[in-house]
Structure 1
Amino acid sequence: MRSTRITALGIVVFLFLQAALSSCLRIGGKPKYDIDEDSLFFSRMPPRTETGANIVAFELDGKPYVFPKEGMRQSIFQAPPWVCNMEKTKINGIVESEIFWMSWRKGKKYNNSYSAICIHLSEENVDQASFVAKGYVILGEWSSEDNEISFEVTKHVPLEGLICGRFSGVLKHEREDTYQRIENGFFDLKYTITEVY
């Protein structure tokens, strides 16, 4: 009888500790890591994925810049911290599409910047599973000219709004005549469609 009580007590203690540990990882419904506090996450590049993980990452001058959607908290006093849309516009009867991703991190502890990528899609590749396209990248005071960055789209599933791939290129500082190279860039994004006619 005593051993049964000890076993039951052990199970209760185990379940209590498991619940407590789980709540520590997700206090108040927060994600597993906090993009503003988890400096270890930004010390290295994450593995590349093609699963709709909603992440953009690249190295600039060997330093990783990582932008996961998870961990970005919305504030009613700031611009949305994460946007990913396929914007469709009709110009002279021709529908033009572009994937536009933006991360607003002004005033944050890590990656304090406004960052964006834009991928121009032609009428042919808007429904293709893989293709190469041109566009631009912005990282704070560093940016490329339009159509200077080449994006290799390795997975595109329009019905799921999923687009994944790699990119690299050169960025120029907006106030100085200096350049830095983006390397090992990748994106794994879920987008919504916005039509502007």
Structure 2
Amino acid sequence: MSAALDKALASQLKAGCHTLGVAQDAQAQAKLLAYLELLIKWNKAYNLTAVRDPAQMVTRHLLDSLAIAPCIRGSRLIDVGTGGGLPGVPMSILFPEREFHLLDSNGKKTRFLFQVKTALGLDNMTVHQARVESFAPEAPFDTVLSRAFASIEDMVRGCRHLLGRNGHFLAMKGAYPEKEIAAVAAECQLECVHELHVPGLDEQRHLVDMTLL
């Protein structure tokens, strides 16, 4: 990236973090930008995301992920179907005191994530290549987090074996997913639906917080 583009992206990220009230220290922002640079570089060969414009990546990937930060709970979390590391990598950067596991079945994506972990020194981040149905963790998780599952019903039924006692599902969604929530009413207690506001994004975003009955 050119110096001018680097500066523009850094300014965009800084302003967005200020609006969200998160990741406002220089070290966190530097790591977020380093992750973005790796994502842009590897995306050319590995097709990690359909978003190609770097400024849109800041909005749709970094800030979109960072918007859930106030809702994160627990000390041991897993990002299921993490893809290129969203929201797992930004959360790992933001919360170095918490343990994050990033799970994906795609070998290209997990190889990219191993590179990110090494390059950014994210000792609190562990990468797993496996299908969620067959993944057997050493210990259950406080929170199962997902941004890319097709439906909340798929998330609950595919990931319930990962969740610890009193654990939470956090599902990142666009428009308010009324039908999806209703589909798991017999299995889950709806704790809260957070309406998120992503700086620079004129689209609905919601985070659904549920526990198992």
Q: Which has the larger radius of gyration?
A: 1
The answer to whether the superposition gives a TM-score over 0.5 is no
Question: TM-score w.r.t. structure 2 length?
Answer: 0.25
**Between Structure 1 and Structure 2, which shows a larger proportion of helix residues?**
2
**Between Structure 1 and Structure 2, which shows a larger proportion of strand residues?**
1
> Which protein has greater RCO, CA pairs closer than 8 Å, 6+ apart?
1
Question: TM-score w.r.t. structure 1 length?
Answer: 0.26
